[in-house]
């Protein structure tokens, strides 16, 4: 289970090393720790999110959401499954986690982190 302190350490390392947003935006180990976890578990660990938006999955996505087309099943894409996009902003930067409703619960399928000052 991902610990909040481990998440903060990863974000701080990205900031200290001055890595580009592309380099910091996702780490495989971090993404794997979140992937498949229930929404309630992630909220308990990361705290209250800044915002939450639910939308149907389609090909009309924002640039930073296109990864969802690769994490959803072909059936989920074809049926425009509902996606919940949640933003946390407790650290320098922003953490987005996307959830898809599977087997009667919201399950994390993808995440991205942006360092401070990045605008989109």
- Predicted pLDDT at 58: 79
The parent domain of residue 104 ranges over 4-114
Classify residue 61: in a domain, yes or no.
yes
> What is the count of structural domains for the chain?
1
107 near 42, Cβ under 8 Å?
no
Classify residue 119: in a domain, yes or no.
no
Classify residue 29: in a domain, yes or no.
yes
User: Is this prediction's pTM over 0.75?
Assistant: no
- Predicted pLDDT at 54: 93
d(CA 28, CA 2): 13
Write out the chain's pLDDT in tens, 120 residues: 445 455 444 444 444 433 333 334 555 566 678 889 999 999 998 899 999 999 888 777 777 776 787 788 888 888 888 899 999 986 788 888 999 999 899 999 988 887 776 665
Classify residue 52: in a domain, yes or no.
yes
Classify residue 63: in a domain, yes or no.
yes
Classify residue 59: in a domain, yes or no.
yes
- Predicted pLDDT at 97: 92
Buried b (16+ CB within 10 A) or exposed e, 87-97: ebebbebbbbb
Classify residue 96: in a domain, yes or no.
yes
Classify residue 34: in a domain, yes or no.
yes
């Amino acid at each position: 289970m991902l610990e909040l302190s481990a998440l903060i350490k990863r974000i701080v390392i990205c900031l200290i090393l001055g890595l580009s947003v592309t380099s910091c935006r996702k780490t495989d180990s971090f993404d794997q720790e979140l992937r498949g976890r229930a929404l309630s578990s992630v909220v308990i660990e990361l705290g209250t999110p800044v915002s939450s938006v639910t939308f149907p999955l389609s090909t009309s996505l924002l640039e930073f959401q296109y990864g969802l087309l690769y994490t959803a099943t072909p059936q989920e894409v074809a049926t425009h499954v509902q996606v919940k996009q949640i933003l946390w902003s407790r650290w320098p930067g922003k953490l987005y986690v996307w959830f898809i409703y599977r087997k009667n619960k919201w399950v994390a399928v993808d995440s991205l982190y942006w360092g401070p000052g990045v605008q989109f």
